[in-house]
């Protein structure tokens, strides 16, 4: 499934320094709005950006307004599990409202014991089902708390 159709309007939440926005998302999308609350990360993202269809914003994704609406795709990777219940309760409806009809929200959640929320697949499914009519989880197993040896590296 392509969650970024060619020519899509994309919103990337918690983008960090924008590596994936520059290297992948902006290549396929007509426009990308990328947000992060870390001003240093946004400063670096803006300094490295050479794409006209990519804009970076310093913003708290739960509290601040999104730069636009009617996004084809909204992305959020490895950040949702770090939010409070209050932040998720504000953010997930905002995401739903900012998606155009037929749009996709795609993200990742690290299911680790240290999470206060979203610790299991069932919890993720239940939380997202409150806000989205269709939720599809693709889960990968992690070896929690174990460093696995890499052949050839000591």
Q: pLDDT band at 153, cuts 50/70/90?
A: very low
Across 42-56, 95-109, 122-136, which has the greatest mean pLDDT? 42-56
Query: Would you say 2 and 29 are in contact if contact means Cβ atoms under 8 Å apart?
Result: no
Model pLDDT, residue 140: 67
Residue 34 has pLDDT above 70, yes or no: yes
Question: What is the pTM assigned to this prediction?
Answer: 0.88
pLDDT, mean over the chain:
89
Identify the DSSP state of 65.
P
Q: pLDDT band at 154, cuts 50/70/90?
A: very low
Rounded (10°) angle between helices 85-98 and 121-129: 50
Query: Would you say 73 and 106 are in contact if contact means Cβ atoms under 8 Å apart?
Result: yes
Model pLDDT, residue 1: 41
Average pLDDT for 16-42: 97
Query: Would you say 67 and 45 are in contact if contact means Cβ atoms under 8 Å apart?
Result: no
Kindly report, residue by residue over 137-150, the tens digit of the pLDDT.
877 665 554 444 55
Q: Which of 85, 40, 33 has the alpha carbon at shortest distance from 64?
A: 33
Alpha-carbon gap, residue 73 to 82, rounded angstroms: 22
User: Phi and psi at residue 13, in whole multiples of 5°?
Assistant: -95, 140
Topology (CATH) of 9-129: Rossmann fold (3.40.50)
Q: Residues with Cβ < 8 Å from 131, sequence gap 6 or more?
A: 92, 93, 95, 96
Helices (H) and strands (E) in the chain, counts: 5, 5
Average pLDDT for 43-72: 97
Kindly report, residue by residue over 65-123, the tens digit of the pLDDT.
999 999 999 999 989 989 999 999 999 999 999 999 999 999 888 888 788 888 888 99
């Amino acid at each position: 499934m392509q969650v970024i159709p060619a020519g899509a309007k994309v919103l990337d939440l918690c983008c960090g320094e924008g590596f994936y926005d520059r290297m992948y998302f902006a290549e396929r999308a007509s426009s990308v709005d990328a947000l992060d609350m870390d001003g240093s990360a946004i400063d670096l993202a803006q300094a490295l950006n050479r794409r006209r269809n990519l804009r970076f914003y310093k913003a708290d994704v739960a509290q601040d307004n999104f730069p636009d609406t009617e996004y084809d795709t909204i992305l959020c990777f490895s950040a949702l599990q770090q939010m409070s219940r209050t932040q998720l309760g504000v953010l997930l409806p905002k995401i739903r409202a900012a998606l155009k009809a037929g749009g996709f929200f795609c993200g990742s959640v690290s299911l680790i014991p240290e999470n206060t929320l979203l610790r299991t697949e069932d919890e993720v499914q239940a939380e997202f089902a409150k806000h989205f009519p269709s939720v599809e989880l693709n889960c990968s197993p992690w070896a929690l708390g174990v460093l696995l040896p890499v052949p050839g590296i000591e």
